[in-house]
Amino acid sequence: MAEDDDELILADLPDEELVPQMHDDLYDGLRDEVVEGVEILLARGWEPYRVLTEALVAGMTIVGKDFRDGILFVPEVLLAANAMKAGMGLLKPLLAETGAPKMGKMVIGTVKGDIHDIGKNLVSMMMEGAGFEVVDLGINTDVDRYLGALETEQPDILGMSALLTTTMPYMKIVIDTMAERGIRDDYIVLVGGAPLNEEFGRAIGADAYCRDAAVAVETAKAFIARRHNQAVVA
Quick one: pLDDT at residue 192? 96
Whether 53 and 129 share a structural domain: no
Question: Is a pLDDT exceeding 70 seen at residue 52?
Answer: yes
Average confidence (pLDDT) over 27-49 = 96
At which of 80, 98, 116 does a domain end?
A: 98
Assess whether 116 and 202 both reside in one domain: yes
Please give the residue that has the higher pLDDT: either 33 or 93: 33
- With respect to residue 50, please indicate whether it lies within any of the assigned structural domains: yes
pLDDT at 232: 46
Candidate ranges 42-56, 95-109, 219-233; pick with highest mean pLDDT: 42-56
Q: Phi-psi bin for 137: left (phi > 0), alpha (psi -120 to 50), beta?
A: alpha
Instruction: Give helix then strand counts, H and E, for the chain.
Output: 11, 5
Q: Which of 98, 114, 129 is the last residue of a domain?
A: 98
Domain presence at residue 8: no
Is residue 153, in this structure, part of any structural domain at all? yes
Give residue-wise pLDDT tens across range 94-118: 887 877 777 899 999 999 999 998 8
pLDDT of residue 3: 46
Neighbours of 182 (CB within 10 A): 8
Q: Which domain holds residue 112?
A: 104-233
Position 1 confidence tier, pLDDT thresholds 50, 70, 90: very low
Torsion of Cα atoms, 172 then 178 then 183 then 187, to 10°? -40
- Whole-number mean pLDDT of the chain? 91
| 115 in the same domain as 228 | yes
Q: What CATH number should be reported for the domain holding residue 26?
A: 1.10.1240.10
Please identify, among 79, 98, 117, the residue that sits at the C-terminal boundary of a domain: 98
Do 142 and 62 have their domain in common?
A: no
What confidence tier does 6 reach under pLDDT thresholds 50, 70, 90?
low
pLDDT, average across residues 155-179: 97
pLDDT at 233 over 70: no
Q: What share of the chain in percent tops pLDDT 70?
A: 95
Count: domains in the chain:
2
Residue 194 to residue 213: CA distance in whole angstroms: 12
Q: Identify whether the C-beta of residue 229 lies closer than 8 Å to the C-beta of residue 154.
A: no
pLDDT at 58 over 70: yes
Residue 230: what pLDDT? 65
Q: What pLDDT, on the 0 to 100 scale, is given for residue 157?
A: 98
Supply the pLDDT for residue 228.
75
Model confidence at 222: pLDDT above 90: yes
Same structural domain, 113 and 214: yes
pLDDT confidence tier of residue 231, bands split at 50, 70 and 90: low
CA-nearest of 68, 191, 62 to 120 is 191
* Residue ranges with strand state E in 119-234: 132-136, 157-161, 188-192, 208-209
